[in-house]
Chains A and B, each alone.
Chain A
Amino acid sequence: DVKVTQSSRYLVKRTGEKVFLECVQDMDHENMFWYRQDPGLGLRLIYFSYDVKMKEKGDIPEGYSVSREKKERFSLILESASTNQTSMYLCASSLSWQGGHYGYTFGSGTRLTVV
């Protein structure tokens, strides 16, 4: 089974801190994604990557950056954490083919609280 591992299940950080969320997948998937999920707003795409060193902005990239130095690892960085970034953060990976997609495998999520 594909495994997507997020480094922390729960995190509490202070306003203004730089926060790193790590995600590692073990099945050689080329695509990796970061979402946040909030009640009533659903899943919102922050950033995604289709290859090493490559990154694309999603729907809500402001206040975030990402790094993908190795194929298996995709990091989300909150440059200066704010209370409105309190959320559940979900990492996902996937395989795709020409004109199709196998669907995402999600990590277990990181519930981040910014105080």
Chain B
Amino acid sequence: QKEVEQNSGPLSVPEGAIASLNCTYSDRGSQSFFWYRQYSGKSPELIMSIYSNGDKEDGRFTAQLNKASQYVSLLIRDSQPSDSATYLCAVMDRDDKIIFGKGTRLHILP
């Protein structure tokens, strides 16, 4: 059973600090990796995608991928109250199916 694992949280981070969200996956043949943000009562929104080892930065967001360790992370710099949401890690496996983690709830403390 292919799995994507995330800590459910809640993860509480002071405003202005760095929030670090982590994800591990089981299928070593996975090729595409995504982070989605989901506000309560809303649908998931794609915020980052990463396809090769290393870091990818987009504004305050940095995605990090380590295929050898089967590990993906999302860093949010200068956290804002509007970043409070559930963050879903998603991984495309070797069969071209995207598997979602159950999400980490992030709470930014004003």
Contact = CB atoms under 8 A, between A and B. Distances in A.
A27 interface: no
Contacts of B43: 90, 106-109
B60 interface: no
A75 to B, nearest CB: 18
B109 interface: no
Nearest to B91: A101
Contacts of B88: 42-43
B10 to A, nearest CB: 14
Q: How large is the interface on B (under 10, 10 to 19, 20 to 34, 35 or more residues)?
A: 20 to 34
B103 A42 contact: yes
Given A42-B103, A106-B44, A106-B45, A100 B98 contact: no
Interface of B: 31-32, 34, 42-46, 49, 51, 88, 90, 92, 96-98, 100-103
28 contacts: A42-B100, A42-B101, A42-B102, A42-B103, A43-B44, A43-B100, A45-B97, A90-B43, A96-B96, A99-B31, A100-B51, A101-B32, A101-B92, A101-B96, A102-B49, A103-B32, A103-B34, A103-B46, A103-B49, A104-B34, A104-B90, A105-B46, A106-B43, A106-B44, A106-B45, A107-B43, A108-B42, A109-B42
Contacts of A108: 42-43
Point out which of B34, B90, B96 has the most chain A C-beta atoms below 10 A from its C-beta. Answer: B96
A40 B103 CA distance: 9
Contacts of A90: 43-44
Interface in A83-99: 90, 96, 99
B102 A100 contact: no
A104 B46 contact: yes
Given A40-B102, A109-B42, 17 more contacts: A42-B100, A42-B102, A43-B44, A43-B88, A43-B100, A90-B44, A101-B31, A101-B32, A101-B92, A103-B90, A104-B34, A104-B90, A104-B98, A105-B46, A106-B43, A106-B45, A107-B43
A101 B46 contact: no
